[in-house]
Structure 1
Amino acid sequence: MDDASGQKLNIVIVGAGLAGLAASISCALANHKVHVLESAKELAEVGAGLQITPNASRLLRDWGLGHEIDKVAAEPTLLAVHRYSDGKILAEEKEFDEQMRRKYGAPFIDMHRVDLQRILYHKALSLGVTVELGCRFSSIGRTPPAGPEVILESGRTIQGDLVVGADGLWSRCRECLLSRTDEPLPTGDLAYRIVLELDKITDPELRQWMANPQVHFWIGPHAHAVAYSLRAGAMYNIVLLCPDDLPTGLSRTKGSISEMKRLFSDWDPILTRFLDQVDQVDKWKLMHREELESWTNPEKDFVLIGDSCHPMLPYLAQGANSSIEDGGVLGRVLSHVTSKQQIPWAIRLFESLRKSRSEMIARETFHQRDAFHMPDGEAQRERDILFASQLGKEISIKFPSRWTCPEVQPWLYGYDARREADEAVKSQPCDARTCQRS
């Protein structure tokens, strides 16, 4: 089925977010023809900061994006956890940048979502990926023996050998797979998202915090805050996580600055001084979804990736990273596919690699919320004693902060998507039995 250019499969991806663009790059590098459909009329500059951990930054470098990313990223030299009320350091890892590169061979970097999406978009285009904007998805159809097709609200249909649903938390593709309405569920938390610009800040101490990239957490009763630099210290990203008070049906709105400051008024003075600089803030309801029995259709030629099948709370910063992993594994497995008959084998293999890991990460984010949001009391005091026992040492026990926990960090950050895919293909090769259609 190879065409004149040597391309093998015709892959249609619904959604040009991080998952969809990552998948488009990975599949194009596998020499498949890729067509991305995005409902937005333009890739607008929305969003805030992202923490790109080594499990994803490794892939971005594999795709030749390291130089472009380094120009717009900040690489934190320290990660610290503070008590909410007085800023007391509960845990810190110094030389964090060096530790990450030494342990995992890839950096931990902080970026603006817009910068990463733009870099991925232009990389996809350079590889010959077709990206169409303003294409509002309607449903998935099927025309045997041709295979799946994407049907747009305009009535237009786009045929593919494989359709990838990467349309995010409010996924229509997910509903098509399930053949029913399926809306995200509230977690009980919301996020205030803030981005400050260095050139608008006059306070010398705050400017120093911004210009020297680090990651700081403040943890308190039923809430926590995280702050880190973007764009080599030219911007500062702050996220405040606290109990959800948004009405049912409202998932995002402009936040009240006075309300936000009141909620965090008795927190560490350095944090409240940052909040004094805020002139606008967005308020987001944090949502999640139940685990799916399967991410694929029975024919194994329609598959979900990213937030459409495994959205994550932000407490481990793995939503974007896991979506990039999905794209990397999908393309790498499909690099071993040369005909339509091999697609079911590849998609079964992809799902076996990604589903259990993604769901384990999603569950771990709830555990991190529990550890960071403890109300003051006996359990909190025991947690802080545990923190103190490891301060200034190499951590040797299961740790309340998964960010530096020796049990969680290695499997989270040490994941190599390309190696995992290649080893799986080697151990479960496509043969006459495994490559027949379901």
Structure 2
Amino acid sequence: MASGDGLRVIIVGAGIGGLSCAIACRQANPPLHVTVLERAPDILTIGAGIHIPPNACRILTNLGLLDKLSAAGGYEIEDFTLRRYEDGKVLAEKPLKGRMEKEYHAKWISIHRGDYQNVLLDAAVDAGADVITNAEVTGVVESTEGPQTAILKDGRRFEADVVIGADGLWSHMRETILQRPFSPKETGDLAYRGTFTREQLLALNNERINKLVDQTNVQVWMGPNRHAVFYPLRNHTEYNLVLIVADDLPEGVRTSPGTVEELAANFVGWDPMLSDIITCLKTSLKWKLLHFESLDQWTRGTMALLGDASHPTLPYQGQGAAMAVEDGAILGALFSKWQALPTTPSLTRSDKNKQLASLLTFYQELRQQRTKTNVAGAVGTRHYYHLVDGPEQEERDRFLAALMKTDWQGPCPFNWADAEYQRSLLGFDVCDDAEARFKVWAATI
């Protein structure tokens, strides 16, 4: 059992958000008792590439994890390149390395999702969190006069002061809190994902690809109703490819095997370099993209949600996991500050539960508008990525060309290039804001 005299917290789900929350809670003063309940029999660090933008990187740095992420293959991106779909012409190249630290006080890192999760898992365990696998939570018995009790499918019971649902897009905890079914909605997009070795790409004997594999850039081809993303992983020994196309799966079908020929047909007439990269795929799997625009209730009593359980987003801003990291860090900070209030030790159990319920409502108020803005921003990014050729596409390209000459310091209808939007997304310190606003909340209890 984790040591410490702090609150007892159960976190349902050992994904990036849940593990970040566990680490933040163990770094509270005093450390919280943290139990992470993961329904899978093993924590399989699967997946492909993932971004850690400055707003998340700043938090992970403060948690002492930046060096560990770098040692695990995380690297700083040099530039973010937008290309025209039909010939690969560079429309914009936004510098990230150096500029991110200067403007937003943190790096922009890319890493393999499995390596990222491994770092968080090791850090959570090293910090003293109890991570229990094969532990599917089927319900929570609530109490105003005592602890909350998480009930597992196999009959085991775990008690805690607070239960946090970090169980992802298809969250059971979300339905427990809402007391009704609430499923994500289909967005009309689906993704093909794949990774390649450096040797596979060099074997194509394509001069343009040979130059591409040595670049430490995110490459995006934008085109009518679809786009493609490519970037290196694991010290340029692997490469990540994501292809977004229109959803052609039946309603309710989440994944389906596809063929490489079917995938390639979606990109006929596109940059021949991208077409050659696609030929490296041996198999393909379709993933339906889902989200919901808003969730008005994240908490009930001393239960709360974080990450995709409460605000799943399209992946077009690289912010899904980052917002979950923000959630987890803020919860850890709020619990730490609540424990330090002079009146906390003398509270009755009933009063303690009331204050914790109020604190979680405050957490929801801190997070809702920012996460709604991110969900809407990702939808907006899709619009500008997927413009058909015509006046709006031409205007987008003119804005991008002009902003490159201003060091990306001006306004733009496309939020990817709008300086004010990017400052609010990447530069805003959510932990500092939460700590400042906590003082106002504490004065009301």
| Aligned residue in 1 for 2:226 | 223
| Aligned residue in 2 for 1:80 | 81
Q: 1:269 aligns with which of 266, 272, 278?
A: 272
- Asked if 1:281 corresponds to 2:284, the answer is yes
- Asked if 1:29 corresponds to 2:27, the answer is yes
Q: For the residues of structure 2 that align with 1:224 and 1:6, how far apart are their CA atoms? A: 49
| Aligned residue in 2 for 1:135 | 135
- Asked if 1:354 corresponds to 2:367, the answer is yes
Question: TM-score of the superposition, structure 2-length normalised?
Answer: 0.92
Q: For the residues of structure 1 that align with 2:393 and 2:208, how far apart are their CA atoms? A: 30
Q: For the residues of structure 2 that align with 1:201 and 1:9, how far apart are their CA atoms? A: 51
Question: TM-score of the superposition, structure 1-length normalised?
Answer: 0.93
Q: 2:380 aligns with which of 367, 372, 375?
A: 367
Preserved CA contact (<8 Å) 1:14 1:164: yes
The Cα shift of 1:332 comes to 0.8
Overall identity of the aligned pairs, in % = 35
Preserved CA contact (<8 Å) 1:76 1:213: yes
| Aligned residue in 2 for 1:89 | 90
Q: For the residues of structure 1 that align with 2:2 and 2:139, how far apart are their CA atoms? A: 31
Q: For the residues of structure 2 that align with 1:254 and 1:198, how far apart are their CA atoms? A: 25
**Runs of at least 5 residues in structure 2 that lack an aligned partner in the other structure:** 345-351
Provide the alpha-carbon RMSD of the alignment. Answer: 1.8
The Cα shift of 1:386 comes to 2.5
Amino acid at match of 2:310: C
| Aligned residue in 1 for 2:49 | 49
- Asked if 1:245 corresponds to 2:248, the answer is yes
Alignment of 1:336-415 (within 5 A): 336-338=337-339, 339=344, 340-341=352-353, 342-415=355-428
| Aligned residue in 1 for 2:347 | none
**Runs of at least 5 residues in structure 1 that lack an aligned partner in the other structure:** none
Q: For the residues of structure 2 that align with 1:24 and 1:210, how far apart are their CA atoms? A: 36
Superposed CA deviations along residues 354-404 of structure 1, whole A, max 9, x for unmatched, are 111111111111111111111122222222232233344323433354334
- Structure 1 residues 210 and 7: CA distance shift in structure 2, 3 A: farther
Q: For the residues of structure 1 that align with 2:144 and 2:39, how far apart are their CA atoms? A: 27
Preserved CA contact (<8 Å) 2:94 2:408: no
Preserved CA contact (<8 Å) 2:293 2:372: no
Most deviating of 184-193 and 419-428: 419-428
Local SS of the residue matching 2:230 = strand
Most deviating of 3-12 and 103-112: 3-12
- Asked if 1:156 corresponds to 2:156, the answer is yes
Q: For the residues of structure 1 that align with 2:2 and 2:61, how far apart are their CA atoms? A: 30
Preserved CA contact (<8 Å) 1:371 1:400: no
Q: For the residues of structure 2 that align with 1:138 and 1:350, how far apart are their CA atoms? A: 24
Q: For the residues of structure 2 that align with 1:199 and 1:304, how far apart are their CA atoms? A: 43
Q: For the residues of structure 1 that align with 2:24 and 2:407, how far apart are their CA atoms? A: 37
Local SS of the residue matching 2:337 = coil
The Cα shift of 1:4 comes to 11
Q: For the residues of structure 2 that align with 1:420 and 1:328, how far apart are their CA atoms? A: 12
How many residues of Structure 1 are paired with residues of Structure 2 in the alignment? 427
Amino acid at match of 2:146: A
Preserved CA contact (<8 Å) 2:17 2:166: yes
Amino acid at match of 2:422: Q
- Asked if 1:259 corresponds to 2:262, the answer is yes
Q: For the residues of structure 1 that align with 2:275 and 2:429, how far apart are their CA atoms? A: 39
The Cα shift of 1:426 comes to 2.8
Amino acid at match of 2:311: H
